[in-house]
Amino acid sequence: MSKKDFCNLSEPHAFKGVWAKQKRSDKIKGSDEELMLSFRNGNEDAFEILYRRYERPLLNFLYRMVMNTTDAENLCQETFFRIVRARKKYEATALFKTWLYQIALNLCHDRWRRMKHRSHRSLNVQTSSQNNGNIELQELISDPSSNFEKHVETEELEFLAQDAIACLPEDERLVVILKEYQVLKFSEIADIMKCPIGTVKSHNHRAHQKLKKALAKYLGD
């Protein structure tokens, strides 16, 4: 399947693994925004580079939001398909990655609405046996005043940490995932969430306090 075929596809499942078969084209350089503008103007190689840049971090983000590998993969595919469909309307008025994460987040909201009859925990938490072999837990908390992340070493504690994050209110959980795992700036998170930076920082502070409290007995001194 060619890249041209991909750009004309309408079903998310149809492009799974397409780019893995493509030869890397490193001749094209540029910022995310420049590449997206180039793709809008017909350069399909530019989209391939964007896909390679963001496929893994986006999948990581979606997995941490929905805690289900299959759903995360499907949402990742649908996110990129929406980028493809919207390419003609793209304007570089904001960072490409904030636009990308906004689309992905909206898809998560759509999923949750479809599954609203299920409990909050069933939407966001799996048992350790279900999570085993999926995306590894990275550093949980980036707190220069403590060695918090060094304590998250054992597999058991990793699952407890995932559980604690999953039980946070949505806004707080989203900030933790975007800040600590996706390594985004507060300003970028504010753009994604469409709220003031101060609100993002407040969510971040409350989330850190709740996580430390939830895991205190496992962390020791």
Q: What is the DSSP secondary-structure string of 78-125? A: HHHHHHHHTGGG---SS-HHHHHHHHHHHHHHHHHHHTTTS-HHHHH-
pLDDT at 13: 43
Nearest-angstrom CA–CA distance, 48 and 99: 17
How open is the CA angle 28-33-36, to the nearest 5 degrees? 65
> CATH 1.10.1740.10 in the chain, residues?
1-118
**Residue 40 Cα to chain centre, angstroms:** 23
Q: Which CATH architecture has domain 1-118?
A: Orthogonal Bundle (1.10)
Nearest-angstrom CA–CA distance, 217 and 76: 36
pLDDT at 220: 66
pLDDT at 157: 74
Q: Is 137 helix (H, G, I), strand (E, B) or coil?
A: coil
Which of 50, 53, 61 has the alpha carbon at shortest distance from 135?
A: 61
- Which CATH code for domain 136-221? 1.10.10.10
Long-range contacts of 194-200 (CB under 8 A, 24+ apart): 200/175
With a cut of 50, which residues of the chain have pLDDT below it? 1-5, 9-24, 120-123, 126-146, 151-152
Which of 169, 61, 165 has the alpha carbon at shortest distance from 105?
A: 61
Nearest-angstrom CA–CA distance, 50 and 33: 10
Residue range 58-67, pLDDT digits in tens: 999 999 999 8
> CATH 1.10.10.10 in the chain, residues?
136-221
Residue range 207-220, pLDDT digits in tens: 999 999 988 887 76
